[in-house]
Amino acid sequence: MNKIHAAITAVHGYAPDYVLTNKELETMVDTTDEWITTRTGIKERRILKGEGLGTTDMAMHAVNGLLEKRGISAEEIDMIVFCTTTPDLSFPASANILGDKVGAKNAWGYDVQAACSGFIYGLTIGSQFIETGKHKKVLVVAGDKMSSIIDYTDRTTCIIFGDGCGAVLLEPNYEGLGVMDSILRSDGSGIKHLHQKAGGSIKPATHETIDNREHYVYQEGQAVFKFAVTNMADVAAEIMDRNNLTADDVAWLVPHQANKRIIDATANRMGVGTDKVMVNIERYGNTTNGTIPLCLWEWEDKLKKGDNVVLAAFGGGFTWGSVYLKWAY
């Protein structure tokens, strides 16, 4: 029998309606549209508005759209891997909350917290359950309501992040299509450069932590940029070398949308031209876990069966990695 590969058989995404432009940010913090665009490539980002709405509400839209597209019911889903940095609650897992919202009554699942590399991690995890024959239909959902942990008086972070969510369905493939290889890395010493200071078990919420604005993303931009440029580019090049892929062999690079300069550095390291790079950072900003599946969703009609696709990401933790897959439809 041919080897089982885990293939993406459907993809869908969701971005909230509210558009936060650079021009609006100019009225909130000391910055300019030109400064933001030059340094990040971002022009606008989406924000989830509405009382009581969280990450799983965006995920519900993405998953329902995916199920309709694939023509299957939620009850056919075996497992949900939910990649997020902004879960609805500390517990239960957002995977469980989402399963209830979409009616995936026969699925089990859990959350993966790998910051911006979450989708890469989650895709690799979900693939294992397909490749072993354990499951037939695995949902990998990735998204964040970053606006819930962003300080809109901090111009170093509020210009970067947005809200959004994407989802893919993994199913067995016997034609040699699907996830072919992955490389995942992490380095916990990066914590000092990118983290949330309070709200966890070492520093639970108090009046003091709230007054000190410690429940927001803290980032040392230059340090993170330096690590991201090197590691994301290196791991993408490494997965090409390991699978004997030339730049001509690669149909698409799908990079995490953190910063246009990091995206360009990764493409240059791989030798891939800009016409082969999926970029939508100018419209969505950095949706953390959601960036790569949102790109796949927007470029779905341009992807062809058999295309060699390289995914690459870098995130807080530090975490980084790359996945090589052959598009299956």
Q: Per the residue annotation, which of 83, 116, 165, 295 is the catalytic one?
A: 116
Catalytic one among 286, 289, 295, 308? 286
Contacts of 246 (CB under 8 A, 6+ apart): 240, 271
Q: What pLDDT is recorded for position 188?
A: 97
Element containing residue 11 per DSSP (H, E): strand 5-14
Check residue 2 and give its pLDDT.
84
CB contact set of 193 (below 8 Å; sequence gap of 6+) = 219, 220, 223, 224, 227, 318
Q: What is the pLDDT along the chain (329 residues), one digit of tens a residue?
A: 689 999 999 999 999 999 999 999 999 999 999 999 999 999 999 999 999 999 999 999 999 999 999 999 999 999 999 999 999 999 999 999 999 999 999 999 999 999 999 999 999 999 999 999 999 999 999 999 999 999 999 999 999 999 999 999 999 999 999 999 999 999 999 999 999 999 999 999 999 999 999 999 999 999 999 999 999 999 999 999 999 999 999 999 999 999 999 999 999 999 999 999 999 999 999 999 999 999 999 999 999 999 999 999 999 999 999 999 999 99
256 catalytic per annotation: yes
Compute the distance between CA of residue 175 and CA of residue 180 in angstroms, rounded to an integer. 12
pLDDT score, position 1: 62
**196 with 215: CB under 8 angstroms?**
yes
Active site residue 286: yes
- CA max distance for the chain: 62
Q: Residue 310 forms beta bridges with which residues?
A: 253, 324
* Active-site pick, 96, 256, 295, 308: 256
